[in-house]
């Protein structure tokens, strides 16, 4: 038994060194393979990093190109929107186009190194060049339109200058005509004032015996009681007698005043402040107007030209005396005659 155990130990001691050597060799082989694998990974990672860097540069260049093209489109839009600054914008656009061409050429040179990316980049560049050419064609068209507009503006300026000269002459003629017209009107007014003075003088002679007839400024004022009963618009006999005298004076005036003087005799009816509400006269407006019309109709019946007469009603709103006494109301009930222009 002791010998068998000794031989077994000897056999075990004989196999152990070889096993250790085999394991060491295997470990070295594994380490070597791992080293090769790591080296391959490193080289592969470096190649991938270089390719990513190249792709990033290309993306950056493409982004720059896109931004530049966007700027070009914005510049082109501004050129179309503002004709006044077209020349300056065109110079800027040409400068941008020159820079863009330089960048595109540089990008095309670099794109040669990237293989398949070059074809895609060139296609994009061709499209952008087409857009640029279209924009330049539009700018050229706008330049031609601006030139045509400038020629039209020049023609309009000449026409405006000629028109202003004609306007100045016309204004001079109008001012001269205005002065002559004013002078003629002043002469007519003076003539009418002269005839008015003669007419009023004759009326003073005819009506001087009555205390209820007054002259207020350029008007003859008759108390309404001379012609009408209170609240009525029918002429009484005494009023008709006085109006006969007035009609005679008017007929004499018609005969001496030239026909080119447009004069009229205005007959104004006025009432007092007492309200009236009757069937024929719902208010003092109707009463005052009806009284003025009655006077006008009587004068017409005596031969006075209707075109020379005017009837107007003022109700109680133009009083001579603002007091609320009976005497003030009597004064305010009146018929006024005024010789004036038509």
- What are the pLDDT digits (tens) for 130-176? 777 777 777 777 778 777 878 887 787 777 777 777 777 767 777 76
Spatial CA neighbour of 138 closest among 65, 78, 70, 88 = 78
Is the pLDDT at 299 greater than 80? The verdict is yes
- Token pair 């009930």: residue: 333
CA dihedral 117, 123, 126, 128 (to 10 degrees): -80
Mean pLDDT value across residues 109-114: 66
Q: What is the pLDDT of residue 285?
A: 97
Q: What is the pLDDT of residue 292?
A: 97
Kindly list the structural domains of the chain, giving each domain's residue range(s) and its CATH number in brackets, ordered by start. Answer: 2-149 (no CATH), 209-341 (3.30.1330.60)
CB burial of residue 265 (10 Å; 0-12, 13-18, 19+): buried
CA dihedral 203, 262, 298, 213 (to 10 degrees): -30
The top-scoring range by mean pLDDT among 36-40, 65-69, 112-116, 320-324 is: 320-324
Spatial CA neighbour of 199 closest among 240, 247, 243, 250 = 250
Rounded Cα distance, 228 and 249, in Å: 22
Distance of CA 259 to the CA centre of its chain: 50
pTM: 0.45
Is the pLDDT at 25 greater than 80? The verdict is yes
**Contact of 122 with 111, CB cutoff 8 Å:** yes
């Amino acid at each position: 038994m002791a010998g068998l155990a000794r031989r077994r130990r000897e056999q075990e001691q004989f196999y152990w060194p070889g096993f250790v050597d085999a394991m060491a060799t295997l470990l070295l082989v594994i380490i070597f393979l791992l080293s090769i694998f790591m080296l391959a990974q490193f080289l592969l990672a470096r190649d991938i990093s270089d390719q990513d860097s190249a792709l990033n540069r290309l993306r950056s260049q493409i982004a720059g190109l896109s931004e530049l093209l966007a700027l070009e489109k914005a510049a082109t839009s501004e050129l179309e929107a503002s004709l006044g600054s077209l020349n300056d914008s065109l110079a800027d656009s040409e400068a941008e186009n020159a820079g863009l061409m330089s960048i595109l050429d540089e990008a095309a040179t670099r794109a040669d190194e990237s293989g398949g990316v070059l074809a895609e980049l060139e296609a994009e560049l061709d499209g952008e060049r087409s857009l640029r050419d279209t924009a330049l064609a539009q700018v050229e068209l706008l330049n031609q339109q601006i030139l045509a507009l400038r020629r039209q503006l020049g023609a309009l300026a000449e026409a405006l200058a000629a028109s202003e000269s004609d306007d100045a002459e016309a204004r001079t003629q109008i001012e001269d005509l205005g002065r002559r017209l004013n002078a003629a009107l002043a002469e007519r007014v003076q003539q009418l004032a002269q005839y008015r003075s003669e007419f009023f003088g004759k009326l003073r002679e005819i009506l001087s015996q009555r205390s209820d007839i007054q002259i207020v400024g350029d008007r003859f004022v008759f108390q309404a009681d001379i012609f009408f009963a209170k609240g009525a618009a029918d002429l009484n006999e005494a009023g008709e007698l006085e109006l006969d005298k007035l009609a005679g004076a008017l007929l004499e005036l018609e005969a001496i005043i030239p026909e080119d003087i447009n004069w009229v005799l205005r007959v104004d009816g006025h009432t007092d402040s007492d309200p009236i509400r009757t069937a024929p006269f719902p208010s003092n407006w109707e009463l005052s107007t009806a009284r003025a019309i009655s006077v006008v109709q009587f004068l017409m019946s005596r031969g006075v030209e209707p075109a020379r007469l005017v009837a107007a009603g003022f109700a109680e709103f133009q009083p001579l005396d603002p007091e609320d006494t009976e005497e003030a109301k009597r004064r305010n009930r009146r018929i006024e005659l005024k010789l004036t222009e038509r």
